[in-house]
Amino acid sequence: MTIWAFVPARGGSKSIPLKNLVRVAGVPLLNYGVRAVQASGRVSRIICSTDHDDIAVCARELGIEVDCRPGHLATDDAAVADVAREFLARKGSPDILVLVQPTSPFLLPEHVQALMDAMMSDSEARSGQTITSCPHNHHAWNQREVAEGRTRFKFSVERATAYNKQLKPKLFVFGNLVAVRPSALMKGEGFFADPSVAVDIPSPYDFDLDRPEDLAVAEALITSGVVHLPHMTGVLSLRAAHTT
């Protein structure tokens, strides 16, 4: 079975300028997911889709391919599924396409391996994804809506009968990796095409780096040892690199 990894890394991030190259523990954000996929031994081809020269240089230093993204797919509104479809239309399709998002730096090689095993064992699965348990305070039945300065529970009826976490149904959030069969993607079904197999991973490996303050959180998780990234041994710096 042919497996490719697709790494979307445009240069126009608004939340953190040139986010994909920002350094976390001394290492560019782009490197984390790529190194995990390389260490998994399951992917025959890794392609970085970018519109930025510096990101292209970093990708090539990692030993992966670079695909120059068309300008109309490098905007804030461009969907990553459309970017992947355009690439596949030009370059052909593998059996499975893995989406490696640089904003998920705590991806582990074993997460990649487990997800590929799950998809290979379920021939009906159109996609697969890692997931993790939803924190109680973020549970759907705890969410509020606000109108005219006042707030109320969105699901007040459900919460009235399930007011603590033991009574609520278990829900999950996205983990750190998704993969799809290109046939589903090219039909417009998206990366999370149904049916989608699930691989449960522990928190905080589902961490998503999006806001400037997330840089400090990511470094704290690494330097404290809460997150263990053995595939990055010898590369990480324990200094707060983003403050220099």
Low-confidence ranges of the chain (pLDDT < 50): 239-244
DSSP output for the chain: --EEEEEE--S--SSSTTGGG-EETTEEHHHHHHHHHHHHT--SEEEEEES-HHHHHHHHHTT-EEEE--GGGSSTT--HHHHHHHHHHHH---SEEEE--TT-TT--HHHHHHHHHHHHH-TT-SEEEEEEEPPGGGSGGG-EEEETTEEEETTHHHHHH--STTTSPP-EEEEEEEEE-HHHHHTT--TTPSSEEEEE--TTTT----SHHHHHHHHHHHHTTSS--GGGTTT---S-GGG-
Q: Which fold has domain 3-132+172-243?
A: Spore Coat Polysaccharide Biosynthesis Protein SpsA; Chain A (3.90.550)
Model pLDDT, residue 224: 94
Model pLDDT, residue 242: 38
Find the distance separating the first CA and the last CA of the chain, reported in whole Å.
Answer: 45
Model pLDDT, residue 237: 67
pTM: 0.93
Tens of pLDDT, residues 81-130: 999 999 999 999 999 999 999 999 999 999 999 999 999 999 999 999 99
**Which residue ranges does the chain devote to CATH 3.90.550.10?**
3-132+172-243
